[in-house]
Amino acid sequence: MKHESMNEAKLREILLQEQQYEYLQLPERLARRLDLENKSDYKGVKARCSFIKSYFEDCDFRDIVNIGGNCGHFSLSLLDEDLAEEAKIYDIKEDMLAMGRKIAAAMELSERAEFEQKMIDLDKLDSLPDADVLICQNVIHHAGDYFDEELVKEMGWGAYIRKFLERLRPKYGAAVLAVGFKWNKPKYWDVEKSRRRAFFRGTLKRSGWNIVSDANVFNLMTYSSDPDYRDFTGDSDRPGEPDKSDLGYLWDLITFNAIKHASKFLGPKSEKVKTSIPQLSEVAREISKSYHIYLLE
């Protein structure tokens, strides 16, 4: 395994930051070393990271720009497995960036990972460095709320985000984009929640991006370890076609398991379905969320 050596003092320093790394998990190798395997993964960090790694394994990316990168979990995980050579990680929270620097030092990745405090709004996109790939998760649905409030209110979120995506297009050959379509976010977007995913796919294409893959994070958390997994969410390129979000999560869960049990009566399969069924309370907690991740080129 690569990069085995770690500084014990840095590891102890990280131990003192329990509340911070509980929000965004430690990279897998460091978590194993500290015996701090996933305490809580309500944001689907592990499933998203696995999804992103599988994409990077098929590509040849050298450098990453990560906006809204928090502690740098995704970038550091990719660097640690040599799926990229260097990363620049931006966030508005200096305490999160400081934690990221400690994690990078403990993993001997400080020379390859740069952390910088920066507010990313529409006017600052041109100042970002170019790179092979952009990682932008849990950022753009906050436009109009945490940043560019007046501009989004004036333009509407749909028009604003198209301009946002168009400015990023010439700077990056590929992108990992995660966005939540919640009941109260994005603000100033006059599109019914059930139709937002379909509309957003159209916005991505009109802004010059090609969608390589699109996954619902709840489904990734539930089914991604299953070799028979298929995305049941019914992607559509036609704006206005309802998307199965919210109650669709529960429907997908029922459908997938119905197929699994029906297979017992349809004959032997080459590999048994192995899926972890969440408790109903966990389903209920996630059912109010519509969080999606896109791989773009």
Task: Provide the number of structural domains found in the chain.
Answer: 1
Residue 1 falls within a domain, yes or no?
no
How do the pLDDT tens digits run along the chain, 297 residues long?
444 444 655 665 666 555 555 556 778 888 777 776 655 676 788 888 989 999 999 999 999 999 999 999 999 999 999 999 999 999 999 988 998 998 898 889 999 999 999 998 999 999 999 999 999 999 999 999 999 999 999 999 999 999 999 999 999 999 999 998 876 789 899 888 778 888 899 999 999 999 998 888 777 776 655 544 444 333 433 333 334 444 444 454 455 455 555 555 555 433 333 333 343 334 434 433 578 899 999
Number of alpha carbons in the 13 Å side-chain half-sphere of residue 8: 0
**Token code pair at residue 131:** 């790179």
Residue 2 falls within a domain, yes or no?
no
Among 196, 188, 186, 296, which Cα is nearest to 244's?
196
Question: Crossing angle, helix 94-106 and helix 8-15, to 10 degrees?
Answer: 150
CB atoms within 10 A of CB 19: 7
Residue 3 falls within a domain, yes or no?
no
- 3-state SS string for the chain: CCCCCCCHHHHHHHHCCHHHHHHCCCCHHHHHHHCCCCCCCCCCHHHHHHHHHHHHHCCCCCEEEEECCCCCHHHHHHHHCCCCCEEEEEECCHHHHHHHHHHHHHCCCCCCEEEEECCCCHHHHHHCCCEEEEEEECCHHHECCCECHHHHHHHCHHHHHHHHHHHHHHHEEEEEEEEECCCCCCCCCCCCHHHHHHHHHHHHHHCCCCEEEEEEHHHHHHHCCCCCCCCCCCCCCCCCCCCCCCHHHHHHHHHHHHHHHHHHHHCCCCCCCCCCCCCHHHHHHHCCCCEEEEEEC
Residue 113 is part of which domain span?
8-296
Residue 54 falls within a domain, yes or no?
yes
Has this prediction a pTM greater than 0.85?
no
What CATH number has the domain bearing residue 269? Answer: 3.40.50.150
**Token code pair at residue 247:** 């109650």
Residue 38 falls within a domain, yes or no?
yes
Cα angle for residues 51, 89, 25 (degrees, 5° grid) = 50
